[in-house]
Each structure stands twice: as structure tokens, then as C-alpha cells.
Structure 1
Amino acid sequence: MKKLCVIGAGTMGAGIAAQAANAGVPVLLLDIVRDPADRNAVAAGAIERLKKAEPAAFMSKAAAKLVEAGNIEDDLGRVAECDWVIEAIVEKIELKHALYEKLEAVRKPGTAISSNTSTIPLDRLIEGRSEAFARDFLITHFFNPPRYMRLLEIVAGPKSDPELVARVSDFADRAMGKSVVRAKDTPGFLANRVGTYWLQAAINAAFDLGVSVEDADAIGGKPMGVPKTGIFGLVDLVGIDLMPYLKASLTSTLPADDPYQAIAHDHPLILKMIADGYTGRKGKGGFYRINKEAGKVKEAINLSTGDYAKAKKPVSIPSAAQKDLRALISAPGVVGAYAWAVLGPTLAYAAGLIGEASDDILAIDTAMKLGYNWKYGPFELIDRIGVADFVARLQAEGREVPAILTTANGRPFYRVEEGVRQYLGADGEYHAIVRPEGVLLLEDIKAASKPLLKSASAALWDIGDGVVALEFTGKMNALDGEVMKLIEKAIPLVAEQYKALVVYNEGSNFSAGANLGLAIFAINIAAWGEVEKLVAGGQKAYKALKYAPFPVVSAPFGMALGGGCEICLNADAVQAHAETYIGLVECGVGLIPGWGGCGELMVRAAESPKAPKGPMPPVAKAFETISTATVAKSAANAKEIGYLRPSDGITMNRDRLLADAKARALSMVEGYAPPAPPVFRLPGASGKTALELAVKGFRARGLATPYDEVVADKLATVLTGGDADVVDTVTEEQLLALELREFMTLVRDSRTQARVEHMLTTGKPLRN
């Protein structure tokens, strides 16, 4: 796929174009002509909005330059330049038919044509088109926002060319980072079919049982593995006005006996909210709103009266029910009643789709986890309840038991047999879960083996071909002394028996950095020796990795902050997931990087081909990045900032990250030699004065707080070499000693301690 065309520059079309550009592919974005004087205005305006979007649509400035604006009247013939044309116009069949007729006349044979529709069957879309057009046509249903939502549902028709479908799927997977799920040509496909039922059932239950929106979101959120938005918070996020649209689409296309038809009814309060402009976050508010007149107070709507009041603390959920789904649906009072009213019908509905909307449970579970960010898919949730218990409760209430549940006959839907993860098929047999070529998951390795080494916060795994993976296992993958001890034990083991090491895990984030909770405990009892031991131990462990006699590749994803960033900086190479948000954020909590981050960032700044010569430019660049706690918004942005080298790799698909990192490590084995320790030529006192002047300027403009100035002073001391003169050189060991000294000075300051406490309590930085 060397060039794509997206037709329709609305929210979805523009977002799809941006993600294709993030893959490094030129994109032609077309829309109608509204202004004869500026015929490309619609598409050009969409591109400008993409550049300003938050969260960002483009991963880098370079990607933004790959999208070209055009219009359907003048530029449709240019689809002949493209390998894949994605139609994302309004959901009106007559408009799509008219466009396809024009496309058929200008496209080159073999060009993939797909629709982003989620409501119109494929056979209706290709009515009147030639056999050749039908062979090259399919549905590619992206989820909004296309950059961040990993799910892509692909629907192929009986006439679709399997090779073309495979080509589109492979590009979407490897280049665009999508997890492709093959769906049948049924209404709503998979994720929206189950997701719309779930939301409708949850909203109905709240009205019927008199459950407040706050209680509904607390019960139907985290305890069920649903994002913290819960039910009503999610509807606010996607737009309340979308609900009637989805309902109308499904009720008009689903058979009359589908269970969704029985629950799909409007609530007068919700219709009134939409009419009054209360459509959620994009409107005046929704089920929740921020009352600015009352001082930015969060309010929630009363489902009985329609009145808003200050959002109340939700119902208390028993501790057992917060982690055990059986305990949740059996809890007394409103907690258990509401949990079952949501889960019982929803999971039964998903089970009833096997054979109709999907041939297996894997597709539905994947669709809900990636399309709605559920932690567990419907069948994984049934396993957590217990298949026999779930069926017994359905039967006790006189509900129909779906065929797949009868087939299971009390057996779990997933199991591990002889180290192989398996799922229960509709045929009643267990089948191995087969990963796509090039996908390697640590969860599969862990199911089939035991760790080589293990501590309370880390583990070491043999991932094959002489490569091991270092996994963080603490909360938020925070780093502590246990991680450092395991690193020290791992190095001689790997050096003796293996070829290379990859730093990787499959948590929600790579690492949130050092364990602040442990640090504040030590601070509160004035155990300064323990704090210093932790910092010095991290320096020793990270440098031991850097100079180990084998290649070390870090594979970050999600948040890689503080110490999580520093372990990447100390690796021989980085293979980062595209959605990596990496940064040295220590200044935000009143500290400075303590595990080698200062020196490593200066090394990268000095290596940059654009860097001016002399000792000051790398120091100034590192100072600006660290003092402002800059966090990259993507792996590509991390290269622009300097956290990653130009040679570091980027993997678009999260599931391919470990395999890519392993391959990168193996490619470095032959002839490997550890790097030579850097020697820094630093500007000394004169350089520090220049940095201090810059900080004073920020302080005068209100961009830095009084304590920011103090922290920046300590950072400047390290980066400029302490008391060194401009002609002096500083070794890596000397720079680490400076880091440790200034870190310990700051950690003893009550203002730093206040920042750490505030971050742990609120999750937000304290601006003292």
C-alpha cells in the first residue's frame, strides 16, 4: 500500500487519513466542494483541525505533511494513483451508490475499495456494481478515534477477493497498528452489536431499579473490568445523541425476535436532554456536567426528576465484590441487583451471537476488549462467574440459555492445556489459540513455562532463540529495589546461558517510574540511607545493563516515565510501540532523574546531526526537556524530542512489539561489544549561570513556581558538571555521583515531600 485515498473528511474519515499518514503512507483526502473560491476547503479544514486535535491525531509533524487535501469533483480521477480507497461519507445508501459508480470509472483494477459503514449491509452497498468492483470491495469498520482505538472490523462478501482482503488486513495490522477482527455481514457487526445492547440494558436497569448515575458507574465500571467512565460516563463521552441513532439502525435491520428489540426503547428524559443540547461532553453537559457558576462543581443528573445536583459519593461496594465477579452479582442490595441486571442479559446476548454474527468466541471477546476497552471479553467474564453458575441463574429466572452455553456444559470457555492456551469452539471441542505470524505474547510464554528468576516486582522469562525478557510486575509497573536486585542476578545468567535481553511487559503501561509510595514511606521515617541505597542501586543496575556483554533492547509502550524512561535510555536500542508516552518527569515531583537519565539525554542531544557544536547545546537541550518534564505524545514525537535515537525502531501494532524487539536484539548479537563509556565536556559555572537566567525569565513570566526554580538549580548543577570549569571533562561515574548528591539534597526538602505526597494523593503535580 504505497498511497491511500480517503473520501469523506468528517471526524472518522479525517481520523483514518491521519492514522494512515502515521503509518508513513501518503494520503489523498477528498470531500465535496462547498466554496467555489476554495474548492478544497472542506478537506483542508479537516487537516487543520487534525493538527490541533487533542488527543493528537498525528503522531509527528512529518505525518501531518503526508495528507493532501482535494475534492471529489476535481480530484476523483487521482484514485488511480492509490492502492486502497476508503469511503467514509454520510450513511446514506443513495449517496454511496452514486460515489461508487464514479469510482468504478476511474479506479485502476485491483484497487481495494472499502466502506467505513457500520449500518449498511455489504450486499446492498455493491448493488448495481460490476463483478470486478465486487471482488475488490469490502467493509473496513474503524473505531473512533482511529489513532487510539485498536479494533478494525473487516467484513468480506462472498465475491470479495481473498487475496485483496488479506492485503488490506495485513496493511491495517502491521502499518496502521490495528487488531483485525473478521466479522460477518450482520447488523452492527460485533462490537457495536454487543456494546449497544450492553449500554441499553445498563441504562434501562438504572431507570427501572432507581439506581443513580453515580452508583451505576461505580458498580458497572471497574468491578466489571469496564473503564472508569462506567456506563453513563461513557455515553457522555461518545455523545448521548448517538444512542437514538444506533438504536434506530439496529432495530431497523435486526430480526423482530432479536433480544435487542425487546429492550430498545426511548427514555423521555434522555430525549429531552438531547433536545435541550445536553448531549454529553461535546454539548452543555450530559448525565454529568461541570457547573462553572458554582465554581467548577461536578454535577450529576437525577434520572427520576431530571434535576442536577452535586455528584455524590457512590455506593460502597464490598471489598470482595470489587475483585470477584461472583461476589459482585451476589452482593446484597443495589450492588448485586444492578450488576446482574447489566451482566446477565448482556453476556447471554453475546453468547447467543455465536453462529450468527461470529463463528467463535475469540472474535467477540477481542472486539469488546479493543472496541469498548473492556478488560475482559464477554466469555472471559462468564468464566469468571463460572459457566455452570451463570447457566443455573439464567434457568432460575426462566431465561433462554444460548446454544454455546449448553455446549459448554459447565466447562470453561478458556483453558491452558500442556502450556497451550485454548478456547472452546461451537463444536464442543477445545482449540489452540493461534496467533498471527509475527505475534509473540508474553502471556502465552507464561502459560507454558516458569520464570528463570522472580522477585516481588520483576521476573525473567525465556522467550526462545536465546533471548530473555525482563518483566516488571509491580503496581503500575513501578520500579523499586526488588527490580534492581533481579537485574543484577539476571546479567550473569544471561551472559552465561543466553544471547540477549529484552525489557518488556504486558501491563497497561510500560512503567510509571520509581515506586513513590515506597519512597514517601522511607522519607516519613527519615530513612535517608534507604533512599540513597535505592537511587545508587538503580544507577548500578541500569549501568550494568548498559555495559552487559550482550545486547539489551527496551520495548516501551504506553507510559514510560521517570525510571521507566531511564531504562530505555540505558539500553543498546529501543523498539517502541507507536503509542509510547515517554519522558523524564521527576522535576514535577521536585526531584531530578537519578538513574542516569541526565547523562544519557545529553549523549543523545550531542549525537543529533542537527545539534550545534560545543559543550553548551546538548546541556541546554537536556535542561529544557528535563526541567519542563516533557513527555512525548508518541514514539515518533519521542524521536523529535530526543528520547529515542533515529535508529530506534517503532512498532505500530502492540501485539507485535515483543517479536520485533526480540528480532532487533538477535540482529545485534553477532559481533556485539558493549558501548564505550561517554566522557562529557561540560560548560561549568558559566553554563549554569546561563541556565539560571533562563529559569529566572520563566519565573518572571509566571511559567515557573518558586520551587521550580530551586529544582532547576539542582538540575543545572548536574548538567553543567558541578564545579567543573569549561575546559574540564566529566566521566560518567562523576556525573552519576552528582545526580545522586543533588537528588538526595532535593528529597530531604519538605517542598519536594509535599509534591510527592500530592502526586500520590491526587495524581496531579503540586505547583508550589
Structure 2
Amino acid sequence: MPQSSSSKLQKSGSIRNAAVIGSGVMGAGIAAHLANAGMRVLLLDVVPQSLTAEEEKKGLTLSDAAVRNRLSAAAVARMAKAQPAQLYDSAWTNRITPGNLTDHLQALGDVDWIVEAVVERLDIKKEVLEAIESARRPGTLVSTNTSGLSVSAMAEGRSLEFRRHFAATHFFNPPRYMKLVEIVPSEDTDPETVALLTELCEKRLGKGVVVAKDTPNFIANRIGSYGMLVTLADTLAYGLTVEEADALTGPAMGRPKTATFRMLDLVGLDTLLHVVDNVRERSEDAEEREVFKRPELLARLVGLGRLGEKSGAGFYRKQRGEGGRSRIESLRLDTLEYGDPIRASSPIIDAAKAAKGAAAKAKALLAADPSHKHAQFAWSTLKKTLLYSAAQVGAIADNIADIDRAMRWGFNWELGPFELWDAIGLEKSVARMKREGDAIPEWVETWLADGHDSFYKTADQKRFFATRGGYAEEKTPEDLISLSALKASGKTVLSTTGASLIDIGDDVVCLEFHSPNNAIGGEILTAIRQTAQEVSRNWRGLVLANEGRNFCVGANLALLLMEAQNGEWDEVEEIIRFFQDSMLRLKRLDRPVVAAPHRMTLGGGVEACLPADQIILSPETYFGLVETGVGLIPAGGGCKEAAGLAAARAKAAAGGGKGGVDLQPPLNALFETIAMAKASTSGHDAVKLGLLRPQDRVNARQDMRIAEAKRAVLELDRAGYTPQQEERIPVAGREGVAVLKMGVQMMRLSGMISEHDALIGGKLAHVLAGGDVKPGAEVSEQYLLDLECEAFLSLCGERKTQERMSHMLATGKPLRN
């Protein structure tokens, strides 16, 4: 790369205005996520050449702004309703201004960052970049979103000043949810440009960045597409069904449930062919060009219009069955006809399912009967992918750590290829490859010959990876706290089967849940009690966080259902009281407590957060008291905390005085949120649901949530922490109950809810409004907890509630009975 240019680049925090060129799926998604980061975004597309029927009916012409901006305006309108949501808050469409490349090109001179995201054709991208250069001011960042076209080829013909500020920022789809951004500089890109784009993507957009080389399809798509090709070839070679191949290349290998063929349907079979063609046409390696030949099967399916999910059929097809219900059919690879799904089963698949964790699952696959075709297939596809990845080190990325990160973040693999190679045993697997006649990359042979037996090692809470010159430290952000690394280095303070307390430095500890699905049961509640005692005696404060897939999906529903079905009502009440008392101990702790939830934080997970002094959510936090979905109400303190929130909001609305406080409006809003089992679509949306306090906030970087929570604990401690005191909560009383129940009855009479929904709603109303007391009466927290417990117990005894609980456990979906 050249030396830094003279143009002064900005800091990422000062970049407030951006433009995105192209309002298709990727362009709109990128624009939405820039808006999520607080930027004002100009979204431009081409001017339409003809009127729609609706435009003609309105009497519009091609010169009208509504027509000329139609493509980008329609994209913005779709954002507000998109599922899954593109924006953290649908109201943030007001941060995006639609326009067109003809009328608004000069506005590019007023923005700080321009992202080109037009169709994946080199000629069109070059034309757009030429137009951008004519309007941008010197020093403005310009990046292209491309999945694999040459960055240098795109920049041909542009000035040196432009090329120094230009690189690829390859967002993975959907941009809001996928963590990976590959930054790809050309030989002329200034190092400061790469640094600024990295800072922007990591700190402002919350992404994981890897720097890739300007080679066909960069890192993740290069290895991912190769893996799909060899899986397809081996599926045919070993005579497997698509279901068998997916069963062996999904969670069994530490990969998503979409595995291979479901993933292909999602990506698009034509898209994979485009990727394959791009590698083959740009590769200088004859052997690689042979590997990336167009598979005949894929070409035939694309020729038949079977492109995957976007065309309605690919390797799987969704059909409407009896009663309008949809059913999934699978492709027969020999006849290309569809039929009922074929269940994939074998001792090899069963062994992988039973194993815990990606490493153990891979070992189980490879330790199985080597004569079984499933074991042969798994080994063949795996070893080819490992060898190919090793051969690309230095070609597509500088090191193995970047390749592993790219596959984890871009394809949602639990372990990257080199991490997985370590897990199955580097020396043992290479020896087997040699026996089978496979060529081992020279650097791997040398690495083993030098006495190394793994690609990674850990020491002093740091991780090191293999390089040609020995181990190098894997750089991580300074404010990243890894609980797994801390536990590995002996920082566990106490542990149960469901939770661990970990020293995260500066006299602060973190309570980590690690039960199945992080559901709250007796083990976690016991750990909370032990933690409260330990923190009070020896620590400055406590963080509630974990590194599981989700923070907490709720309480242990299976245990509650079993006790209820057996009529063990004393046991059920004991469980509830134990839960309530544990949450109170967190709330009364004489040290600051900060919760840092992420992803699914439901039911009991929310109740574990509400006692904290502060909640710091990640953007992708789906937060809600959803107990009514299984026929219950929140009874771990959730209703009590909601009543307190309503009272606090009523008091704030009245200007802080006691006189004239109207509890009903905030109570109505919270009742609706809980009764309808609403969960937020983001951390920001949780604010709109009314479940957060003024001191709670959202942190843009999910990976930094534990470090941010620790900082908040230390700040509370430095400010002279005062423990939360027992409070008396003003409630709406019997009149408030009547108002809420009237709303429930109206919904019942209109057919919006079932009779059982109405029963649940009535009990929830009784608890939230404080029961049969006079309006405005101040009640104790324990009084509200008693109401919670009474209502919960009565609902547990209802047959329809038990049916809902059972259905949720069996299907993962709510039952409306």
C-alpha cells in the first residue's frame, strides 16, 4: 500500500452524513443500518424510464419528483414494514432521504461517506464510480459493496486521490443482522482509509471486520462456495439425499441449521453459479479452475427456473397442503422431482446430535464407523474444506485467524476451519489425509515438523495463532471481555451446573448463566443467592451477562409443567417464592448491579434484569415479558416491577408531585405490552414497549456489552453507591382493575382473544392494578409479589394453560386455545 495521502481523513465519530447508491436489497439494507448508527443517509437510484399504471392513474409524468425518486422512495417505505426488521426503530426512516442519481448527484459533495451498492456488474459499477468522482469532495470516503468483483478493476480510470480513499466494504446479507464486513483495499488504497473504514464498521455499526485481499470472492464466499461445491459433489458421489447431507453438514459440524442445501436455497442457486463463475474466470490456478467448474446439476436447476426460495423451489419446495397448510418437499437428485421429506437417520447422525458443542460433534462424526457412508461423506467434505482453507492462507487473507473469523461471522460457523481442525486433532487428521494420498500444504507440513500440534494456543488470557514464523497474538479490541477466556485462565469464583461467577477485573464479577437455553431453574437461582453473599463481602459490584446464543429464554417451563400436572402445588409455590426472593436479593444488594442482556431475553430473563440498577442492552436484544403466551403471568417480580414503572411514569407526568397523579395511562400501556406478550424487535424498540427505565440504554457494540456493563458498575461505585430501598408503590386499585378488565372484555366480545386469553388478562389486570384496594393506595412490594404468586398458581391449575405450556415445549410456538 502507498504512504498516507495528504487529504485529512475524519474520525469515525465525526462521520454523520452518508449516501448509498442503489436501493436494491443490499443498498436498502446498508442504508437502514447506517441510519441505525445515527447517520443521515441519502439513498439514490436511477430515474425510471416509464410510468407505472398507478402513476398514470394519478396523472403523473416522468418529470414529477415522485416518479423520478420512485425506486429509492419505495425502498424506504418497505423498510418501515420489513420482516425481519431492517431498522432498530421503524420511525428512523426519517433519517433516510430518497433521491435519484440524476437530480441529486451533486448532493454527494455534502456527505462524509459514499457506499456504492448497485448491481454486481463491473461495467455498471465503473460508470457509477465515475459519476461519484465528479460530485464528491476530495477526502470523502467511497466504498463499494461487492461480493467478489475486483476492487482494483473497479477503480481503473479514477484519480489517485479517489483510489486512495476507495475500498470494498462487503456487507453480508441482511446487513443489520450479519456480523461480518470484509474490507478489501486495492493496491492504491491508503492505510488510513482502511483504518477509518474498520473503525466505522466496528465502533459505529457494531460489525466484525476482516481485511481481505483483492482476490475472487474474497474470504468467506471463497471458502463457503468451495464447501458447497464439494458437499454437492460428495452428496452425489455417496448417494445421499439432500436431507442426509443437511443433517451431516449443519449443527453436526457446528454450522447453522440451514446446513448446505437449505442455505443454497436461501442464497439462490443462480447466485452460487455467479460466485463460481467469478472464481473460475479470475483464478490463475488450473486446479482451482477445475474445482470451480459449473456443477451440471446446479446449471440444470437454474435452467429450469428453480433458483431456491426466491422462485419457490430449489433443493426444497414449499407446497400448500390440505386446509391451506404448507408442507415442505425435497428434491430427488436422480430424477429432479419433488417428494415428501425423507427422514435422515443413522448412528453417525445420532452420535453427533448427542454430543455437546461443535468440537465434540465433529469428533463424534469422525469417530463413527468408517465403513458407513455417512462417516465417509462427513470426513470427505470436511477434509477437503480444511485443505482448501489451508492452501488459501496468504492468498485470500494474511493469516488463519482472519479466515476463521470470516467463516464464523459470515457463515455462522461455530468454529472456523482451523479451529475445527484443532478440535478434531491436527496431527491425527493430517496423518489420515496422508494415508489417503492427499497433498498437504507445505506450510502445514513445516508447522508440524517444527513440533507444533495445533494452530492455536492460549496463554495469559491471550490467544495465539500459527504463522510461518511461529505463533502470533490474535489482536482483540481493548475493551473486549471474554468470559470463556477468563474461565480458562482460572478466574471462576464459584460455579453451579447452571451458572458461574467470574472475576472480570477491577474487583468486579460477572454472573454467567449456562443452563440449557439459559433457562432459569434452581441451579441459577441458587447461584444468584450465593453470588449476592459473595459480592456483598468481597467485590465492588456485579454484572449479569453471558456468552450464550441468548441471554435467557425464561424460566424452566418443563419443571413447572411437570409439577402442575402432578398437582404438586406446594412445590410450584416454592419455585415461585424462590424465584421472587432471589430477584429481591439482587435488587437489595449493597453493591451496584448492571445487567447486559443480548438477543432473546424473555420472561424470567427480563425479570432477572429488572432488579439491576441499570440495564445496558445490545441492539439485537429481543426483550419482553411474554408469559401470557404460555397461559401464565410474570411472577418472578415482573408484574411488581411493571406496577412500579407505571407509578414512576405517572409521577413524572404530573411533574413529580403526589397530587393529581393519573396512574391509568401508563398502566394501560404496560398492561397491553404484557397481556399481548409483546417482545421488542431490538434494544431500541424495548424502550418503546415501556419496559425500561430512564437510566437504561442501548450500547451499539454487542461484543462490548460486558465491558460496558463493567464500566457502569465502576461508575456507580465511584459515585458512592446507595442500595435500592424497599419502596411502597401507588396502584390504581379496584377502579384500575375495572378499567383494564373492561378492555379485556371488549377484545373478547370482538373475537380478538379467546375465553382463556380473557381469563389470563383478568388475572394480570388484578395484579398490575394492585387488587382490591382503593385507587392511589400505596402497597408494599411483597404485597404485589403475593398477588403475582396467587394468580400464577391459579393459572397453572388451568387445563388450557397446561396445554399451552406443553405445546410451547413441543413446538417452540405459542398455542391460542
Counterpart code for 1:435? T
Q: Does 2:483 match 1:442? A: yes
- Checking the alignment, whether the CA contact within 8 Å between 1:471 and 1:503 is kept in structure 2 is yes
Residue 398 of structure 1 aligns to a residue whose secondary structure is coil
Query: What per-residue deviation string (whole Å, max 9, x for no partner) do you get for residues 156-215 of structure 1?
Result: 233222223212211111111110111111111100000000111111111222211111
The answer for the alignment partner of 2:658 in structure 1 is: none
The answer for the alignment partner of 1:267 in structure 2 is: 296
How has the CA–CA distance of structure 1 residues 228 and 537 changed in structure 2, closer, same or farther, with 3 Å as cutoff? same
Query: What per-residue deviation string (whole Å, max 9, x for no partner) do you get for residues 93-130 of structure 1?
Result: 22222222222232122111111112222221211221
Residue 264 of structure 1 aligns to a residue whose secondary structure is coil
Q: Pick one of 126, 133, 152 that aligns with 1:123.
A: 152
Q: Pick one of 385, 389, 398 that aligns with 1:350.
A: 389
Query: What per-residue deviation string (whole Å, max 9, x for no partner) do you get for residues 254-311 of structure 1?
Result: 223343632533224x334333432222222221122204542221111111111111
> Which whole-Å CA distance do the structure 2 matches of 1:118 and 1:709 have between them?
51
RMSD value over aligned CA atoms?
1.8
Q: Pick one of 124, 134, 137 that aligns with 2:163.
A: 134
Q: Does 2:694 match 1:652? A: no
> Which whole-Å CA distance do the structure 2 matches of 1:529 and 1:545 have between them?
24
Superposition map of 1:140-155 within 5 A: 140-155=169-184
More off after superposition, 69-78 vs 555-564 = 69-78
> Which whole-Å CA distance do the structure 2 matches of 1:541 and 1:499 have between them?
20
- Checking the alignment, whether the CA contact within 8 Å between 1:201 and 1:263 is kept in structure 2 is no
Superposition map of 1:103-114 within 5 A: 103-114=132-143
Residue 65 of structure 1 aligns to a residue whose secondary structure is helix
Superposition map of 1:589-628 within 5 A: 589-608=630-649, 613-628=661-676
The answer for the alignment partner of 1:371 in structure 2 is: 410
> Which whole-Å CA distance do the structure 2 matches of 1:398 and 1:51 have between them?
56
The answer for the alignment partner of 2:456 in structure 1 is: 414
Residue identity over aligned pairs, in percent, reads 39
How has the CA–CA distance of structure 1 residues 69 and 701 changed in structure 2, closer, same or farther, with 3 Å as cutoff? same
| Unaligned 5+ runs, structure 1 | none
> Which whole-Å CA distance do the structure 2 matches of 1:732 and 1:221 have between them?
48
Deviation at 1:516, TM superposition (A): 1.3
- Checking the alignment, whether the CA contact within 8 Å between 1:598 and 1:622 is kept in structure 2 is no
Residue 560 of structure 1 aligns to a residue whose secondary structure is strand
Q: Does 2:45 match 1:31? A: yes
The answer for the alignment partner of 2:28 in structure 1 is: 14
> Which whole-Å CA distance do the structure 2 matches of 1:17 and 1:652 have between them?
17
- Checking the alignment, whether the CA contact within 8 Å between 2:148 and 2:215 is kept in structure 1 is no
The answer for the alignment partner of 1:721 in structure 2 is: 770
Residue 79 of structure 1 aligns to a residue whose secondary structure is helix
| Unaligned 5+ runs, structure 2 | 1-14, 49-61, 356-360, 655-660
Q: Does 2:316 match 1:288? A: yes
Counterpart code for 2:435? A
Residue 269 of structure 2 aligns to a residue whose secondary structure is coil
> Which whole-Å CA distance do the structure 1 matches of 2:545 and 2:811 have between them?
28
- Checking the alignment, whether the CA contact within 8 Å between 1:421 and 1:447 is kept in structure 2 is no
Deviation at 1:715, TM superposition (A): 0.8
Q: Does 2:636 match 1:588? A: no
> Which whole-Å CA distance do the structure 1 matches of 2:47 and 2:647 have between them?
49
Q: Pick one of 234, 243, 260 that aligns with 2:272.
A: 243
> Which whole-Å CA distance do the structure 1 matches of 2:707 and 2:635 have between them?
31
Deviation at 1:155, TM superposition (A): 1.2
- Checking the alignment, whether the CA contact within 8 Å between 2:39 and 2:95 is kept in structure 1 is yes
Residue 160 of structure 1 aligns to a residue whose secondary structure is coil
- Checking the alignment, whether the CA contact within 8 Å between 2:649 and 2:666 is kept in structure 1 is no
More off after superposition, 295-304 vs 612-621 = 612-621
The answer for the alignment partner of 1:545 in structure 2 is: 586
> Which whole-Å CA distance do the structure 2 matches of 1:443 and 1:6 have between them?
39
More off after superposition, 503-512 vs 750-759 = 750-759
> Which whole-Å CA distance do the structure 2 matches of 1:87 and 1:627 have between them?
45
How has the CA–CA distance of structure 1 residues 532 and 198 changed in structure 2, closer, same or farther, with 3 Å as cutoff? same
The answer for the alignment partner of 1:693 in structure 2 is: 742
Residue 74 of structure 1 aligns to a residue whose secondary structure is coil
Residue 103 of structure 2 aligns to a residue whose secondary structure is helix
More off after superposition, 156-165 vs 205-214 = 156-165
Residue 575 of structure 1 aligns to a residue whose secondary structure is strand
The answer for the alignment partner of 1:42 in structure 2 is: 71
Deviation at 1:611, TM superposition (A): 5.8
> Which whole-Å CA distance do the structure 1 matches of 2:344 and 2:295 have between them?
26
Q: Does 2:339 match 1:309? A: yes
Residue 465 of structure 2 aligns to a residue whose secondary structure is strand
The answer for the alignment partner of 1:299 in structure 2 is: 329
Residue 680 of structure 1 aligns to a residue whose secondary structure is strand
Counterpart code for 1:64? T
Superposition map of 1:105-504 within 5 A: 105-259=134-288, 261-268=290-297, 270-294=298-322, 295-318=325-348, 319-322=350-353, 323=355, 324-332=361-369, 333-409=372-448, 411-427=453-469, 429-504=470-545
> Which whole-Å CA distance do the structure 2 matches of 1:453 and 1:539 have between them?
22
> Which whole-Å CA distance do the structure 2 matches of 1:473 and 1:740 have between them?
26
> Which whole-Å CA distance do the structure 2 matches of 1:454 and 1:162 have between them?
46
Q: Does 2:693 match 1:641? A: no
How has the CA–CA distance of structure 1 residues 272 and 586 changed in structure 2, closer, same or farther, with 3 Å as cutoff? same
Residue 230 of structure 1 aligns to a residue whose secondary structure is coil
Query: What per-residue deviation string (whole Å, max 9, x for no partner) do you get for residues 697-724 of structure 1?
Result: 2223332122111111111110121221
Deviation at 1:330, TM superposition (A): 4.5
Residue 787 of structure 2 aligns to a residue whose secondary structure is helix
Deviation at 1:608, TM superposition (A): 4.3
> Which whole-Å CA distance do the structure 2 matches of 1:40 and 1:593 have between them?
48
Aligned length: 766
How has the CA–CA distance of structure 1 residues 238 and 604 changed in structure 2, closer, same or farther, with 3 Å as cutoff? farther
- Checking the alignment, whether the CA contact within 8 Å between 2:81 and 2:90 is kept in structure 1 is no
Superposition map of 1:738-757 within 5 A: 738-757=787-806
- Checking the alignment, whether the CA contact within 8 Å between 1:277 and 1:284 is kept in structure 2 is no
> Which whole-Å CA distance do the structure 2 matches of 1:213 and 1:249 have between them?
26
> Which whole-Å CA distance do the structure 2 matches of 1:39 and 1:737 have between them?
62
> Which whole-Å CA distance do the structure 2 matches of 1:260 and 1:197 have between them?
11
- Checking the alignment, whether the CA contact within 8 Å between 1:197 and 1:346 is kept in structure 2 is yes
> Which whole-Å CA distance do the structure 1 matches of 2:206 and 2:367 have between them?
40
Counterpart code for 2:643? M
> Which whole-Å CA distance do the structure 1 matches of 2:756 and 2:289 have between them?
58
> Which whole-Å CA distance do the structure 2 matches of 1:151 and 1:166 have between them?
16
> Which whole-Å CA distance do the structure 1 matches of 2:750 and 2:309 have between them?
33
- Checking the alignment, whether the CA contact within 8 Å between 1:484 and 1:537 is kept in structure 2 is yes
Query: What per-residue deviation string (whole Å, max 9, x for no partner) do you get for residues 121-160 of structure 1?
Result: 2221211221111111111110000000000000123322
More off after superposition, 657-666 vs 573-582 = 657-666
> Which whole-Å CA distance do the structure 1 matches of 2:263 and 2:765 have between them?
44
How has the CA–CA distance of structure 1 residues 81 and 232 changed in structure 2, closer, same or farther, with 3 Å as cutoff? same
How has the CA–CA distance of structure 1 residues 738 and 293 changed in structure 2, closer, same or farther, with 3 Å as cutoff? closer
The answer for the alignment partner of 1:737 in structure 2 is: 786
Deviation at 1:380, TM superposition (A): 1.2
TM-score, length-scaled by structure 2: 0.91
> Which whole-Å CA distance do the structure 2 matches of 1:100 and 1:171 have between them?
21
- Checking the alignment, whether the CA contact within 8 Å between 1:354 and 1:404 is kept in structure 2 is no
Deviation at 1:317, TM superposition (A): 4.0
> Which whole-Å CA distance do the structure 2 matches of 1:321 and 1:101 have between them?
53
Q: Pick one of 712, 722, 725 that aligns with 1:673.
A: 722
Deviation at 1:14, TM superposition (A): 0.7
- Checking the alignment, whether the CA contact within 8 Å between 1:179 and 1:653 is kept in structure 2 is no
> Which whole-Å CA distance do the structure 2 matches of 1:262 and 1:484 have between them?
54
